[in-house]
Amino acid sequence: MEPSGETSGEVSEPERLHKRSFSHSSDRCDSKSPPLPKRHQQLPIPSTPGHSLELSPKYTGIKGRVEDWLQSTRSRRKSCPARLEGKDPDFQKLQRTLARSDSCPSQPETSNADAGDGQRPLLEVLREMSRSRQQSQKQSFGASSITSGHNARSVTGNPDYRSVLRNNGIHMDHTGKKIPPELQSFLDSSIFKPRSEPLTPEAIVDAVQTAMEIADSLESNIYDLGGTAMLPFKRADVGRGGNTPWYSDNLPKSDAYETPLAQPKPDIHCGYLTGQRSTWTIAENAVIDHQRAKKITQPARGNCFPFFVLEMKSEAMGGTLWHAENQAAGSGASCVNAMRWLYQEAYSTNDQPVVESIAFSACVTHREVIFHVHHYSAANSLYYMSLLKAFQTVSQVEECNNVVSNIFEHALGSRQDKTREQLKLLYPFPAHWKAIRPASVMGPQNPATDEDDTTKDQASD
């Protein structure tokens, strides 16, 4: 039996499925088309803020739907808590879990495309931190380099700083051979002499024990030697200061060399008392405090006319005696220049005995103390930092004690007496000082009438 024309002219539904083209778009489906197989059905699109469930016309294929779904997953990174942007182990574990469940991306984006609401990609922040650290290191290196120009100051820790010292007229005398005979005679008789009363065994043991205890400590603990017989600089009759910048007015300068010396800032400096504990007369203080003299006579707080500076270094923290010597060179020359200036103002001459302007310094670590004498050579127009002696903290406590005690004895004796004589010659003030007397709250006073007792002062008033 032949099939009828009606039957032969029709195509079965299964055949029509394979022959007829159709659109996969969800908004234009043929009503006569059967349901799509499961593998061709549209993937579910999660509803997230800022994402529309209605696809753009360009997503007309399965590939477009997959790309749209992936893009919507990336956009969900904005909904992750800000606190997850870090390296916390708990966050990393949670991040891996979320990545498996397609809730958050497995890796942070490196672009700024999805960085919104004030949040920035983690990798971008880390890269910026690295660039900032490198820039900071470059600036730090540049600050520690020797630069030329009147507005740039060199740094004492720079390897080239010894050249800056030399070109500004300060020479390091490592052997003491530059000490002139008259100064050497004074040192032998006054500074290296033994003391009349030897130290007790207990004092020596305490100094040695302290030196051993601070061997591995910070620089601040090196100061503990000042409380022992090794470095007895804590005295009631001495003005003590430290760790404050000095005025640069006293520093040697070279007109032919542009790089100036570093601003002095010794760890400890000892000089004459000022303020309420001062032993100067009113006339002497009037000169010391005069606006023309103050930056020279009092380069820093704590005292006037400093004569002994100390630089402390911790070897455990990388400190070196070489660096300490560089620091002491400037402050020692400043002390020398203060006495030279006072002598020139008082006598109008530069013919000053070398001993009257000297100063001393000590470079200290937990194991060693090195003493230098700072002096000026009029013949060479140079400042010298000459080696005196070096002492071991565990075996030469008494010898070191003798030098420190003798330095104070000289400074509080003949040196201060000479200073008083010169100060008296400068009051009334020289005409070239052009003194400006500010208004006094306490009423007028006559410094010339001030002597050693207050009774005479009251009578003169």
Determine how many CB atoms are found less than 10 A away from the CB of residue 37.
Answer: 7
| Residues with Cβ within 8 Å of residue 5, at least 6 apart in sequence | none
Q: 307: closest CA among 349, 247, 355?
A: 355
What pLDDT does 49 receive? 52
What pLDDT does 124 receive? 77
Read off the tokens for 131: 């660039």
Which amino acid does the sequence have at 231? Answer: L
Domain boundaries, the chain: 157-428
- Confidence bin at 139 (pLDDT 50/70/90): low
Q: Does 175 have pLDDT greater than 80?
A: yes
Q: The whole model's pTM is what?
A: 0.66
d(CA 259, CA 256): 10
Q: Calculate what percentage of the chain has a pLDDT beyond 90.
A: 60
What pLDDT does 354 receive? 98
Q: Does 348 have pLDDT greater than 80?
A: yes
d(CA 124, CA 108): 10
Q: Does 53 have pLDDT greater than 90?
A: no
Of residues 347 and 78, more confidence is placed in 347
What pLDDT does 131 receive? 77
Q: 15-39: per-residue pLDDT in tens?
A: 444 444 444 444 444 445 556 555 5
What pLDDT does 206 receive? 98
Q: Does 60 have pLDDT greater than 70?
A: no
Q: Does 420 have pLDDT greater than 60?
A: yes
Strand, helix or coil for residue 199: coil
Please, are residues 385 and 171 in contact by the beta-carbon 8 Å criterion?
yes
d(CA 18, CA 7): 19
Distances (CA, A) of 120 to 92, 96, 107, 127, 174: 18, 20, 14, 12, 59
The mean per-residue pLDDT over the stretch 406-419 comes to: 98
Phi, psi of 430, deg, nearest 5:
-60, 150
Q: Tokens 């103050």 sit at which residue?
A: 294
Of residues 13 and 335, more confidence is placed in 335
Q: Does 207 have pLDDT greater than 50?
A: yes
d(CA 461, CA 449): 9
What pLDDT does 248 receive? 95
In 320-391, where does DSSP find H-type helix?
321-347
